[in-house]
Amino acid sequence: MPRSVNRYVSLAFAFASAFALTIANVVFADTTAPALLEKKRAANAVVGYAANQSFVVVGEPREYDLYVPAKRAANVGASNQKSALVFLFHGNGGSTAQLMGRQLSKAPFKRWIEIAERDNIVLAVPQGMKAADGNRGWNDCRGDTKTNPQSDDVAFVDALLAKLLSELNIDASRVFATGISNGGHMSLRLAIERPQKFRAVGAVVASMPAKSGCASPSSPVSVLFMNGTDDPINPLNGGLVGSGKSYGTRGSVVSTEASVKFWLSHNKIVSDAAKKTFTTNESTEANKIEKFEYCCGTNQSAVVLYRVEGGGHTEPSPTERYASFFKRIVGVQSAAIEMADEVWAFFRQHAP
């Protein structure tokens, strides 16, 4: 999230945060893992949730969280099956702890842990570097942003992917990336620069850069967008990214429609979209989501858009609901779909 959003959220949780961190240190110890995901060891590999892992990349210590499904350690043959690998990227001003709900806050990306345990997925949750403004984030393809870190994040992802492929039984043909906001932009950078390594990516409340600092993609890759029509930070119709004091410093994006058309053209998709509507009675706002699915491009690549009607700069989720005051900062959160379930269904559909 932009710095202004992060500042307001920090103030809102001033008292809760201190209490949450105290409890987290007692309950989760060094790993700060969710209570039902205790850290275990089997065959010299982490099983469960392991936070704050680190190694050196290009002379810089880089951190990440790792989740390895517990069923891999069970003596039921699952440990011999190759796992899919999903990278999860936090937004600007966020962190791995915030993204995965380790600060005892609501976190739609936390749902990925349940999916991973059920479907034998390894989750890699990289930690962004701090930029000049003090916020952690990612050096994505926006060439006109003033507040992204200058870190070589593609090299970091390359190194982490190689490390996990060498240490864990992962299917290299089923590697995916998704993220929110700046993390969604980072996922798009991987689609552009590493299409041979990432089978599909999911960009949540993120769009293609208006002034790209990256080269054109070289290979087809399946791409999902999930954007709100009333997003106050990543505008649906394109323009400057950010809000409050960060407005004008976060670069610019093209419209969501232009972002979809970019990948339709690149993947050589000419079919009309298959449409589906999701609704819910749980909320009177942002209770309708339109899905547009374009299929059958080169190498069976696809492009999918979830257009969240009335949605803001948030991940849709009926289970991980943000507090009402977030609406004033990032807009309305839809409850019509579970973001993580939809993104994973897309990844599974477009894996070999």
Q: Are 260 and 225 within 8 A, CB to CB?
A: yes
Domains of the chain: 3-349 (3.40.50.1820)
Q: What is the pLDDT of residues 170-206, one digit of tens each?
A: 999 999 999 999 999 999 999 999 999 999 999 999 9
pLDDT at 5 (0 to 100): 45
Q: What is the pLDDT of residues 137-167, one digit of tens each?
A: 999 999 999 999 999 999 999 999 999 999 9
Query: What's the mean pLDDT in 63-85?
Result: 76
pTM (predicted TM-score):
0.86
pLDDT at 249 (0 to 100): 84
Residue 11 binned pLDDT confidence (cut-offs 50, 70, 90): very low
Residue 236 binned pLDDT confidence (cut-offs 50, 70, 90): very high
pLDDT at 80 (0 to 100): 64
The larger pLDDT score, comparing residue 246 to residue 182, is at: 182
Residue 73 binned pLDDT confidence (cut-offs 50, 70, 90): low
Instruction: Say how far apart CA 333 and CA 155 lie, in whole Å.
Output: 34
Lowest mean pLDDT among 49-63, 85-99, 129-143, 241-255: 241-255
